Amino acid sequence: MTEIPSDHPRHDSLVTRHRIEAGVEKGITSRQGLIAQGRGEAFDYLLGERTLESADEAARAAAAHLLLARHPVVSVNGNVAALCPEELVELAEATGADLEVNLFNRTEERVAAIADHLREHGASEVKGLTADARIPGLSHERAKVDADGIYDADAVVVPLEDGDRAEALGAMGKTEIVIDLNPLSRSAQVAAVPIVDNVVRAVPNVARHARDLRETPREELEAIVAAFDADAALTHAERAIREGAIADERS
Ligand code: ATP
């Protein structure tokens, strides 16, 4: 991999791009994942490659949801696995969540490669290989999940999910926490908690909030969840993208 000088103005973005490229070479990320990355980069550029105040609030509400959940699961696809494997493992540890590989373009080889990659980065157990249950309302391959994983979960973190599956999971009554840089994407629109931020910032941020909230009584966690306004968070992010200069200021 080409060494990127740390003082390069586009350092973080280029490192991210290289991780996705390496993910494709390793059989973790699909070629379509390259296109998704490009789309995400454009939104991140407009956001100033920073975490908005509204995204930080969403990350805190997400952490509260995960700590309250009976069975939280973090869904992992090829882009997220390539971008932040260690951070996913830390998020699972901080919230007591399972990690489950769940792919739009599912192949058994890619599921196994991603599970290995996560184990290389510290995961002890990775779900998604059994695929013995189906999400109702989706075509065969896209519906496959583990019966004791996403199928059973009451709260699911779905980074970079497509709109259909996000909707189908929501219809099963699960609390959905979506991480997506596009506030207009259908998955962000249907989420209980949309985090409009780059996964490389959002995943560790949710983990940090979860560690901070670990000793917090249930009633307080429930109050954090109740106070979160998904529509307001989406509106704030969309304005930040469209108007750029409004930065983090709320009006
Ligand atoms: P839509 O919901 O608008 O139909 P889509 O599911 O077709 O979107 P894709 O083109 O597959 O969208 O792109 C995947 C989504 O993931 C995009 O919305 C993009 O902004 C987002 N994305 C890509 N990379 C990242 C990243 N690193 N962090 C957060 N979100 C990202």
pLDDT at 23: 96
Over the stretch 57-80, which tens digit does the pLDDT of each residue have?
Answer: 999 999 999 999 999 999 999 999
pLDDT at 41: 94
At 217, the amino acid letter reads: P
For residues 116 and 80, is the Cβ–Cβ distance under 8 A?
Answer: no
Note whether residue 204 is domain-resident.
yes
**196 within ligand 1 shell (Cβ under 6 A):** no
Q: How far is the CA of 180 from the centre of ligand 1 (A)?
A: 6
The rounded distance, in Å, linking the Cα atoms of 98 and 170 is 18
The rounded distance, in Å, linking the Cα atoms of 148 and 230 is 29
Over the stretch 98-136, which tens digit does the pLDDT of each residue have?
Answer: 999 999 888 999 999 999 999 999 999 999 999 999 999
| pTM, full prediction | 0.94
Phi, psi of 20 (to 5 degrees): -65, -45
**54 within ligand 1 shell (Cβ under 6 A):** no
What is the token pair recorded at 103?
């792919």
**160 within ligand 1 shell (Cβ under 6 A):** yes
Note whether residue 16 is domain-resident.
no
Tell me 158's DSSP state.
E
Query: For the domain that residue 114 is a member of, what is the CATH number?
Result: 3.40.50.12640
Note whether residue 176 is domain-resident.
yes
For residues 191 and 166, is the Cβ–Cβ distance under 8 A?
Answer: yes
Note whether residue 248 is domain-resident.
no
Note whether residue 105 is domain-resident.
yes
Q: How far is the CA of 84 from the centre of ligand 1 (A)?
A: 16
Residue 231: burial class (beta carbons within 10 Å; 0-12, 13-18, 19+): exposed
What is the token pair recorded at 60?
């805190």
The rounded distance, in Å, linking the Cα atoms of 232 and 209 is 20
Q: What is the 3-state secondary structure (H, E, C) of 64-126?
A: HHHHHCCCEEEEECHHHHHHCHHHHHHHHHHHCCEEEECCCCCCHHHHHHHHHHHHHCCCCCC
Mutation pick for ligand 1 pocket among 12, 76, 180, 201 (CB with most ligand atoms within 8 Å): 180
Note whether residue 111 is domain-resident.
yes
Q: Nearest residue CA, atom 13 of ligand 1?
A: 36
75 is in which domain, residue-wise? Answer: 53-243
Note whether residue 98 is domain-resident.
yes
**182 within ligand 1 shell (Cβ under 6 A):** yes
The rounded distance, in Å, linking the Cα atoms of 211 and 87 is 13
Element (H, E) at 100: strand 98-101
pLDDT under 50 in the chain at which residues?
Answer: 248-251
pLDDT at 223: 98
Q: Nearest residue CA, atom 16 of ligand 1?
A: 160
Q: Nearest residue CA, atom 22 of ligand 1?
A: 40
For residues 94 and 62, is the Cβ–Cβ distance under 8 A?
Answer: no
Q: What is the largest CA-CA distance in the chain?
A: 50
pLDDT at 1: 52
Note whether residue 6 is domain-resident.
no
Q: Nearest residue CA, atom 25 of ligand 1?
A: 40
Q: Nearest residue CA, atom 8 of ligand 1?
A: 185
pLDDT at 251: 44
Q: Count of domains in the chain?
A: 1
